[in-house]
Chain A
Amino acid sequence: MKYFSFLTFNLLLFANGLLLPSNAHADDSNFAAGVAALNADGFDAKEAAIAKLAAIDHPRVIPVLKAMLAGDLSSRKEDDRIVIVADHPEGYRLTDVVSGEELGVAGKRDVSKVRINNSIRGLLRETIASLSLSNPDTKIRLAAAGELLGNLDVESAAEVRRYLDAEQHPRVRVAMQAALALVDLQSEDPHTVIGAVGVLRGNLHPQVRGALTRLGEHDDPEVRRHAAKALSSIQTKLDFYSFIETLFFGLSLGSILVLAAIGLAITFGVMKVINMAHGELIMLGAYTTYAIQQMFPNHIELSLLMAVPAAFVVSGLAGVAIERGVIRFLYGRPLETLLATFGISLILQQLVRTVVSAQNVTVVTPQWLSGSWQINPVLSLTYNRLYILIFALMVFAGLMALLRRTPMGLQMRAVSQNRAMAKAVGIRTEWVDALTFGLGSGIAGIAGVALSQLTNVGPNLGQAYIIDSFMVVVFGGVGNLWGTLVGGLTLGVGNKFLEPMSGAVLAKILWLVFIILFIQKRPRGLFPQKGRAAED
């Protein structure tokens, strides 16, 4: 489908040239009249009206033409006013064409559509494109130039070249040149083709790759050589970006592992307490997010921000309760602690099943977390993973600061290093134990908030993460938060690089086996604690 025909192009150039000097003031009444003419009887009249409207300098011209192209332009029966319609359960939601104001809801029968045919559609596309290419707003020009790629024929290409001559902005120029080069690939002249290949070198657009691949059958060997070279340079770039993408997925998985494990690194690493209910504390955090969303259905955008402290408190209190109620009687008996906390994890799971439901619940993703950041045609990073990666690093940094810089952190480290001495210098070790455990549990809750955005929230959520978390802590080296960070990220990245080769399940099995072997080689993990104290 070609957007431009020779004739309309000249017309438009002419119109734009005329209007350029006076484009400083917008004329609403003139524009309103032009819009009204769009609903003229007969398609010829409509075409004329479109051309006329295109000549008017008004910021709403492009939106209106786009609405017309989409078939959303209608006339309201009661006053023949032209409006833009959008679907609504009770009919249409109306927007004023001129001001963009909401006009309320109308029934489907209260409006009639401005009808268009294929010829008008073509004209609309061309008009929108050329208006966009000459628009003073660089963003609009850039978007329009990007649209050109693969949508030009030889004739319209000549017109684009004129825009190119007038264009100053380098990025818009590059986009236009790429679109033109794609047209030039079909040229008879091998030199033109080779020149175009040179321009397209490194372009990641799939159409470019397709066109270059087709050049592999070109008659001229020189062309074939250049095309092959350009393709391989594109392939190199593709490989690079797919590497970046895998790395990102790996870091994302790693950040989740770190989030899940970091609380455990505190309870297991610092306090030497095995908490098998850690996964369930994560689950509680995820359910807290769900509860917050249920309580404030009108503030979904803010729900996660509210859920973070709430989950910290809920899981943290649960942790303190577990520590005071059970674990403190079992200090120095790690295997018994393991069993007792496993029992607690069963109880918590069943509690959620009984109180909430055995089914998974739906946690809504706020707007700002959905979508993705499109870096180029082949690389896009989803916002939720990106934010969770950043969030994990923030939690880690915060925790480090807490342990290193606050009196509470000092006391925690003191108790973990020498309980008797800490007691002797007046630290209330019982309180420190409870608070440390609460802290680790609270962080598990925060991890649950993040996980609620990535996985299903159900009673078994914690089960899926407990073994992984232990692996991360053990791999990183017990008692070393840095080890947990490095271990988690390493495992995440390693896993994602393995996956394409072996499949997801096998990758997971392989890294479990790897860790099993690794622990046997280095029983104290990546970053072991050293010295005689570590022998005990």
Chain B
Amino acid sequence: MRGGPITRFLLNDRGGTIMLSVLLAVAVLVPVLNLAVPADSPLHLSTYTVTLLGKYLCYALLALALDLVWGYCGILSLGHAAFFALGGYAMGMYLMRQIGSRGVYGHPELPDFMVFLNWQELPWYWLGFDMFWFALLMVIVVPGLLAFVFGWFAFRSRVTGVYLSIITQALTYALMLAFFRNEMGFGGNNGLTDFKDILGFSLQSDATRVGLFLASAIALAAAYLICRFIVTSKLGRVLIAIRDTEDRARFVGYRVENYKLWAFVVSAVLAGIAGALYVPQVGIINPGEFSPLNSIELVIWVAVGGRGTLYGAVAGALLVNYAKTYFTGAMPEAWLFALGALFVLVTLFLPRGIVGLLNRRRMKRQSGRHDAQTGAAHDDQHAEQSA
């Protein structure tokens, strides 16, 4: 705690330091193994794998976003996939506009699905999305604005706990239904797909894929540092205080609803960025991304990793998604069983996730040597003791 403002959040963060180092190593290795190592070498990393890893990183960023509100502020959002999807749609709209006249119908301006629906001109809300900077702005503004409006109402009327969880779920459900409609002008069922290039680089090329992977890695690292800065600041302490004893925080003079709103909006923006990075890598965005199941799966990533520790959320997202890839390949039937069991077992036996488990063991080992370590700034310790 005694460090300056810049250094304080990297001290006492063993897990985070490990995570960032691994991320750095991967960010260096992956491009080399994919681009520099010849394709017939056993060390060569296929572009498929690069994209898969990039996807995982987007999920990790999304998990980080959820952890900020759930792990630190006690807001269990079951609608975070909505922010992810909105960010994704904003990016998807840019990519659609980039197709230009290369679509099936060859219309210079309208995306294929609009031509198919006999639309004559671009709806107003598609204007501007041909510009990358505008799309990027929307990636941040749209999820942020939705979170702001929703949170403004919700937190002000003190909707908390399960109630909040359920209405966030209703929110993403309503959005899903809306995006399924063709009249909405977002491609209905099929969503947006058949992207060609981004900023002039072909999405099919290996270099672009690696570039997107690197962008995801950088975004994840930056988001981690931002979140770390937030949770170690006094504001972070207030968030935890609100999570544990909302009333006390209020009577001490903190406007709880504003803190929650702030965290919720920041988290939604991070989720939107994750979505925007995700879409060009997987090449499609459709209303299925809004499905309540996605949001709740995301919750389990964070729960598995260990909520209330940022690197735990990242680790959880990577682990669960790796397992998902493995299962859906090897035994597709078993995946939902495994996921369901994961929900039950983690909540019953690992309330603090894997990180909590590791920490507990580490603490046990250390407790002999360090009695009452001066852990004022020790995040994981906080997490541990509030269990």
Contact = CB atoms under 8 A, between A and B. Distances in A.
Asked if A and B touch directly (CB within 8 angstroms), the answer is yes
B156 A347 contact: no
Interface string B332-347: 0100110111111011
A343 B333 CA distance: 15
Contact of A523 (B158, B296, B341): B158
Interface string B154-195: 101111011101110111011001101100000000000000
A326 B162 contact: no
B341 A350 contact: no
Contacts, number: 115
Contacts of A336: 347, 351
A361 interface: no
B348 interface: yes
B340 A329 contact: no
Dominant secondary structure of chain B at its interface with chain A: helix
Given A329-B348, A512-B174, A517 B343 contact: no
Contacts of B339: 343, 346
B303 interface: yes
A474 B166 contact: yes
A350 B337 contact: yes
A346 B340 CA distance: 5
Contacts of A349: 336
B76 interface: yes
Contacts of A512: 170-171, 173-174, 177
A350 B343 CA distance: 14
B105 interface: no
A335 interface: yes
Contacts of B159: 519-520, 523
Contacts of A335: 76, 161-162, 165
B299 interface: yes
B305 interface: no
Contact of A467 (B180, B292, B347, B348): B292
Interface string A328-366: 011000111111101111110111011000000000000
B270 interface: no
A480 to B, nearest CB: 15
In the complex, which of the residues B161, B174, B341 has the most CB atoms of chain A within 10 Å of its own CB atom?
B174
A519 B174 contact: no
B242 interface: no
Nearest to A326: B344
Interface string B230-263: 0000000000000000000000000000000000
Contact of A347 (B153, B169, B337): B337
A509 B173 CA distance: 8
B85 interface: no
B178 A347 contact: no
A521 B157 contact: yes
Contacts of A330: 347-348
Nearest to B75: A335
Contacts of B344: 326, 340, 343-344, 347
B174 A334 contact: no
Contacts of A229: none
A350 B332 CA distance: 11
A516 B162 contact: no
Contact of A334 (B162, B170, B337): B162
Contact of A354 (B169, B333, B351): B333
A470 B166 contact: yes
A279 to B, nearest CB: 11
Interface string A88-125: 00000000000000000000000000000000000000
Contact of B177 (A339, A343, A505, A517): A505
Contacts of A343: 300, 339-344, 347
Given A474-B163, A516-B167, A520-B159, A509 B178 contact: yes
A358 to B, nearest CB: 10
Contacts of B157: 519-521, 523
A515 interface: yes
Interface in A131-160: none
Nearest to B154: A520
Interface in A290-344: 326, 329-330, 334-340, 342-344
A274 interface: yes
Contacts of B165: 335, 338
B267 to A, nearest CB: 16
Contacts of A471: 166, 170
Contacts of A521: 157
Given A347-B337, A515-B170, A339 B154 contact: no
A513 B174 contact: yes
B340 A344 contact: yes
A339 B347 contact: yes
Given A519-B167, A520-B154, A342 B296 contact: yes
B170 A467 contact: yes
A508 interface: yes
A338 B76 contact: yes
Given A350-B336, A509-B177, A339 B153 contact: no
Contacts of A337: 347
B259 to A, nearest CB: 18
A505 B170 contact: no
Nearest to A358: B333
Given A347-B336, A350-B337, A520-B157, A338 B170 contact: no
Contacts of A508: 174, 177
Contacts of B163: 474, 519, 523
A59 B169 CA distance: 65
A410 interface: no
Contacts of A339: 296, 299-300, 303, 343, 346-347
Given A467-B173, A474-B166, A512-B170, A340 B347 contact: yes
Interface in B297-338: 299-300, 303, 333, 336-337
In the complex, which of the residues B159, B163, B167, B346 has the most CB atoms of chain A within 10 Å of its own CB atom?
B167
A408 interface: no
Q: Which 7 A-B pairs have the closest CB atoms?
A: A343-B343, A346-B340, A347-B340, A350-B336, A512-B174, A520-B157, A343-B340
30 contacts: A326-B344, A335-B162, A336-B347, A337-B347, A338-B76, A339-B296, A339-B343, A339-B346, A340-B343, A342-B343, A343-B343, A343-B347, A344-B340, A346-B336, A347-B341, A347-B344, A350-B340, A467-B292, A505-B178, A505-B180, A506-B181, A515-B170, A516-B150, A516-B167, A517-B153, A519-B159, A519-B167, A520-B153, A520-B154, A520-B159
Given A344-B344, A516-B171, 13 more contacts: A274-B162, A343-B340, A347-B336, A350-B337, A350-B340, A474-B166, A474-B167, A505-B178, A505-B181, A509-B178, A512-B170, A520-B154, A523-B157
Interface of B: 76, 150, 153-154, 156-159, 161-163, 165-167, 169-171, 173-174, 177-178, 180-181, 292, 296, 299-300, 303, 333, 336-337, 339-344, 346-348, 351
